[in-house]
Amino acid sequence: MKITVNQKAMAEAVLNIQRAVSTKSTIPALEGILLETGNGTVTLNSYNLELGMTTTLPAVVEQPGSIILGARLFSDIVRRMPGEELTVSTDEKNVAQIVCGASNFSVIGIPAEEFPEFPSVSQTTSFKMEHKLLKSMIRQTLFAVSQSDAKPVHTGSLFELKDGVLHVVSVDGYRLAMRAEAVSFSDTLSFVVPGKSLSEVLKLLRDDDSELTICIGPRHILFTIDQYTVLSNLLEGEFLDYRAAIPQDATTVITMKTRELIDSVERVSLLITDRVKSPVRSVFENDKVKLSCSTAMGRAVDEAPCTMQGDMVEMGFNNRYLLDALHNAEDDEVRIEMRGPLSPMKIMPVSGDAYLFLVLPVRLKNEP
């Protein structure tokens, strides 16, 4: 094999592709990137048996071929090369010569035959979305994905398609995040995508109106994002019935400025550290929310104005969980609904239902 490519384009491609490389594996090929020549192109592949990525670059192909190169070393070499054109050539012993300007590296590779085969995903079940829309939906729900393997299906986000609406839902046992948007897909379908895979998809998405394609198979999902394809396993298991978990018939409804509530929670949270933890006590009454926190370090009290309807309510909550939800609310004002001190706090936009966050309360101890 002998190819010549643009150094900057190759460096960017390798940086993205290596995110799907296994960092520790008993199979050496999984720690590498497979390079394959095409008709005036070179394709880069990575696959850790859970997540795979592929991209294709224009190249001058003097001799066709393929090879697996260690991802970390190849990335470091390409990134530091001084010239504009990068040449990669291999011999029959799978030794790669990487040349750019006056720099020349000889790197031992692995035969391409040792790279695992990508699972195939049928194109029949697919739909398109705008970059910025999927980016927003993932960003506003990924934070609530479970970090515990106690229930593996909750380490991913549920994608539920029904009546032309896509719901993306994440839960971790303490909170729930949901986004809903209309899509051009009329069938009914649901599947769970691992949070780690969505995190990598998020890095490739842009804030514009260009479209990507999502193809869903029985066990895998394929995202086609510009010149990249991202393949991921789907998670199996019974996902939480999120609709049943959302409380109805609120007895207290609050409307307030998102930034003011964030600032107030952050101020009283100054007494909370990784070693010194305590719930934040909130009292919603008389168009005010009064927040307080008591730890071994001291006591803090703060308040912020709100517009309130319904009963006075006092409840405790984990400061980080509430802040995560508020930081992912994209509106200047939020609507907060509660049904007593032991029911989850529901955070929504003032109008519409594009997102919904639930934060479970924390039982409070009586203050001295």
d(CA 78, CA 8): 8
* Look-up of token digits 């980016």: 135
The amino acid occupying position 117 is E
Confidence band (pLDDT; 50, 70, 90) for 188?
very high
pTM (2 d.p.): 0.93
Whether the pLDDT of residue 124 is over 80: the answer is no
pLDDT at 368: 46
Whether the pLDDT of residue 285 is over 80: the answer is yes
Report yes or no on 216 lying in a domain.
Answer: yes
Tokens for 6? 């643009």
Inter-residue contact 224 to 288 (CB < 8 Å): no
pLDDT at 295: 87
Q: What is the dihedral of CA 81, 86, 92, 95, to 10 degrees?
A: 10
Instruction: Report residue 36 CA to chain centroid gap.
Output: 29
Q: At what angle do helices 258-268 and 319-327 cross, to 10 degrees?
A: 150
278 and 354, same domain (yes or no): yes
Average predicted confidence (pLDDT) for the chain? 95
- Written in H, E and C, the secondary structure of 74-133 is HHHHHHHCCCCEEEEEECCCCEEEEEECCEEEEEECECHHHCCCCCCCCCCCEEEEEHHH
Exposure string over 248-257, b if 16+ CB within 10 A, otherwise e: eebebbbebe
d(CA 303, CA 307): 13
Phi/psi at 173 (5° precision): 95, -15
pLDDT at 367: 54
76 and 172, same domain (yes or no): no
Inter-residue contact 63 to 89 (CB < 8 Å): yes
271 and 293, same domain (yes or no): yes
For 134-159, the pLDDT digits (tens) are: 999 999 999 999 999 999 999 999 99
For 159-171, the pLDDT digits (tens) are: 999 999 999 999 9
Domain boundary among 227, 243, 259: 243
* Partners of residue 289 on adjacent β-strands: 284, 304
132 and 239, same domain (yes or no): yes
pLDDT at 106: 97
Q: What is the largest CA-CA distance in the chain?
A: 80
Instruction: Using alpha carbons, select from 315, 179, 336, 361 the residue that is nearest to residue 253.
Output: 336
For 215-262, the pLDDT digits (tens) are: 999 999 999 999 999 999 999 999 999 999 999 999 999 999 999 999
Give the number of domains in the chain.
3
Supply the range of the domain harboring residue 139.
Answer: 126-243
d(CA 287, CA 106): 71
239 and 252, same domain (yes or no): no
76 and 145, same domain (yes or no): no
> Which CATH number do you get for residue 197?
3.10.150.10
Report yes or no on 367 lying in a domain.
Answer: no
Report yes or no on 73 lying in a domain.
Answer: yes
d(CA 236, CA 282): 38
Confidence band (pLDDT; 50, 70, 90) for 330?
confident
130 and 238, same domain (yes or no): yes
DSSP annotation of 144 reads T
Q: How many CB atoms lie within 10 A of CB 147?
A: 8
Residues 117, 121, 123: CA angle, nearest 5 degrees: 145
Domain boundary among 57, 90, 114: 114
252 in helix, strand or coil?
A: strand
Report yes or no on 368 lying in a domain.
Answer: no
233 and 253, same domain (yes or no): no
pLDDT (average), residues 15-39: 94
Which residues are CB-neighbours of 134 under 8 A, at least 6 positions away? 201, 205, 212
105 and 133, same domain (yes or no): no
336 and 253, same domain (yes or no): yes
Domain boundary among 86, 114, 142: 114
327 and 255, same domain (yes or no): yes
> Comparing 273 with 304, which gets the higher pLDDT?
304
pLDDT at 354: 93
Report yes or no on 364 lying in a domain.
Answer: no
* Look-up of token digits 């970059």: 131
Report yes or no on 25 lying in a domain.
Answer: yes
pLDDT (average), residues 343-365: 93
228 and 259, same domain (yes or no): no
Least confident stretch, 33-37, 71-75, 121-125, 209-213: 121-125
The amino acid occupying position 359 is V
- Written in H, E and C, the secondary structure of 296-360 is CCEEEEEEEECEEEECCEEEEECHHHHHHHHHCCCCCEEEEEECCCCCCEEEEECCCCCEEEEEC
Report yes or no on 119 lying in a domain.
Answer: no
Report yes or no on 163 lying in a domain.
Answer: yes
Taking the CA of residue 223 as centre, how many other CA atoms within 13 Å lie in the half-sphere pointing to its CB? Answer: 27
